Amino acid sequence: MSEDPIIRQMPHAIGPEKSVLSSLFKGDRLLDESPRPVHRDLFYHAAHRALFEDFVSVGNSWELVSTVQRLHDKGILDHVGGPAGVTDIYTYAPNGHHFAPHLDILCDRYARRMAIRAATAAAEAAYDCSGEADYLAALSAPVTAVFDAAADAAPTKGMKTLAADFLARFEQKVAGEMIADGIMTGIPEVDRHLHGMKPQHVGIISGRSSGGKSTLATQIFGGLTDALYLILERTEQSAFDRSVVQVARIHHGAVFDPKQFAEMSGRSRPEKRHLIAIQKAVNQLSTSNLHIVKPSNRRLATICAEIRRHVRLNKVKVVFLDQIGLVRGERVKGDTGEAELRGISNTLQELTHELAISLVVLSQVTADGETKNARAVEEDADWWLSIIQERDKKKANFGEHQHILIAKDSHHSSGGERLPLILDKDTLRFVHGFPASADEPKEAEKKDRFGNSRR
Ligand SMILES: Nc1ncnc2c1ncn2[C@@H]1O[C@H](COP(=O)(O)OP(=O)(O)OP(=O)(O)O)[C@@H](O)[C@H]1O
């Protein structure tokens, strides 16, 4: 057998290596937020390893110009392809969308390289070991390492880690920093059933168009601290304005059109109590670590990046997404809307788990009460608040708010429980009560557009 052995390259993936580096360089993905640990050995190409090590040495302050200079000063600029090589990698991935799948590829190739090295070491040990069982002993450590790498580098939590986590959480609870029951919505009827919005849980607020989904969501949001409201349709200002009405607990006219509202009630100026309530509401909203953000676009990746950024920078614990039907997922040709939404729902669910936040998604239903294409979201949700209005178009009270249906598991078909909550259109809050019975005497007097009785 004089044939030369076939020389094969070790498994590697140059494109995904460049993509992972590119996303890190551009800040599209952060090292400490990576779904899997990133380490130098994942990179097969020596220049990529060197660039990764340099990146780690400067962390998130990485930028192109000073990096080229630094690599030049270290004498390794030519080794990584010169300024053009660094720029090529920097611009390689248009965004961080494919960071996770590309990182998966690197982990896979790394595990395969380890397997080949382990097999080579085992072969050498089998040839060379003198003792009877030495070659078997030489096998076990590298093979275990290969299995570890292949099964992902995330270490499993041992009992000591679990115990330390428990004590840390317990101390937080004792100090009142973490509420055992989760974070209360501030609406007693809801809190009695839900016992708060819990980390890693996804909740849905659903209702028809203009049924009050945003109103219910901002009502909860305005009473919280450490929360983010992602608004995809209207402006941030509109959500803030509505929150002011809700926190101040006054008629919306006093906030949206104070001059006209005062004149309608026979005054030349707004009432002092209204001004004080508005001032207090604005103070509360601006000092409670609350954030209302309209993302630059509706792509799922952008929305996830906003959530990550606010969890990291502002330590938000509850995130509202207004509304899920507007999110654009990754749709492969031929996919149905339902398939796209399933992808969106899975991604959001995973993010909620990873960041240990509570996520509340708003979802629009059709006139028949069906969630638009959102069965996937329903299946994944931990709780569901459904705003119920009169559906019968023939009835005079069509559209009237009836109650809120609460369901606490993902099998909503079980029906859930009716909560006596209806929309008060004056203060834009959901308040205790069922609609007035049809037998009750009707309000005879006429009301102006702010609901004040006309004299
Ligand atoms: N700025 C406002 N001034 C007066 N009433 C308002 C205002 N904003 C909301 N409302 C009232 O609250 C109701 C619910 O509106 P909301 O925006 O909460 O509904 P939604 O279900 O979120 O709507 P959409 O489907 O458009 O997202 C409206 O029908 C309206 O009666």
CA 314 to chain centre: 14
Ligand 1 binding pocket includes 16 (Cβ within 6 Å): no
Ligand 1 binding pocket includes 450 (Cβ within 6 Å): no
**How much is the pLDDT for 370?**
63
Ligand 1 binding pocket includes 428 (Cβ within 6 Å): yes
Three-class secondary structure of residue 380 per DSSP: helix
What is the residue with the minimal CA distance to atom 25 of ligand 1? 209
**How much is the pLDDT for 1?**
43
Ligand 1 binding pocket includes 69 (Cβ within 6 Å): no
**How much is the pLDDT for 153?**
45
Ligand 1 binding pocket includes 294 (Cβ within 6 Å): no
Ligand 1 binding pocket includes 255 (Cβ within 6 Å): no
Does residue 88 have a pLDDT over 70? Answer: yes
| Ranges 57-66, 76-85, 152-161, 383-392: which has the least confidence | 152-161
What is the residue with the minimal CA distance to atom 11 of ligand 1? 425
Does residue 258 have a pLDDT over 70? Answer: yes
Ligand 1 binding pocket includes 213 (Cβ within 6 Å): yes
Ligand 1 binding pocket includes 253 (Cβ within 6 Å): no
Three-class secondary structure of residue 421 per DSSP: strand
**How much is the pLDDT for 412?**
44
**How much is the pLDDT for 436?**
60
Residue from 425, 370, 390 nearest 215 by CA: 425
Ligand 1 binding pocket includes 215 (Cβ within 6 Å): yes
Ligand 1 centroid, distance to 206 Cα (angstroms): 13
**Mutate which of 205, 210, 230, 390 to test ligand 1's pocket (most atoms within 8 Å of Cβ)?**
210
Nearest atom (ligand 1) to Cα of 238: 1
Ligand 1 binding pocket includes 395 (Cβ within 6 Å): no
- DSSP-derived secondary structure letter, 282: H
What does the pLDDT look like over 343-397, one tens digit per residue?
A: 888 889 888 988 889 999 999 887 665 665 566 677 778 999 999 988 888 888 8
Ligand 1 binding pocket includes 256 (Cβ within 6 Å): yes
| Alpha-carbon distances of 410 from 54, 165, 213, 304, 376, rounded to whole Å | 47, 28, 19, 23, 10
Ligand 1 binding pocket includes 218 (Cβ within 6 Å): no
In one-letter notation, the amino acid at residue 175 is A
Domain segments of the chain as ranges: 14-150, 188-432
**How much is the pLDDT for 147?**
72
pLDDT band for position 226 (cuts 50, 70, 90): very high
Ligand 1 centroid, distance to 428 Cα (angstroms): 8
Residue from 35, 36, 23, 20 nearest 350 by CA: 35
CATH code, residues 188-432? 3.40.50.300
What does the pLDDT look like over 126-157, one tens digit per residue?
A: 888 776 666 666 666 677 777 767 665 444 55
Does residue 448 have a pLDDT over 80? Answer: no
Ligand 1 centroid, distance to 438 Cα (angstroms): 24
**How much is the pLDDT for 283?**
94
Does residue 206 have a pLDDT over 70? Answer: yes
Residue from 237, 239, 197 nearest 215 by CA: 239
Contact of 214 with 304, CB cutoff 8 Å: no
Residue from 307, 349, 324 nearest 33 by CA: 307
Ligand 1 binding pocket includes 212 (Cβ within 6 Å): yes
Mean pLDDT of 249-262: 94
Mean pLDDT of 321-347: 81
Q: Into which CATH architecture does domain 14-150 fall?
A: Orthogonal Bundle (1.10)
Ligand 1 centroid, distance to 10 Cα (angstroms): 60
Question: Is ipTM strictly over 0.85?
Answer: yes
Ligand 1 centroid, distance to 289 Cα (angstroms): 25
Domains 14-150 and 188-432 alike in fold: no
Mean pLDDT of 102-128: 87
Does residue 228 have a pLDDT over 90? Answer: yes
Does residue 253 have a pLDDT over 90? Answer: yes
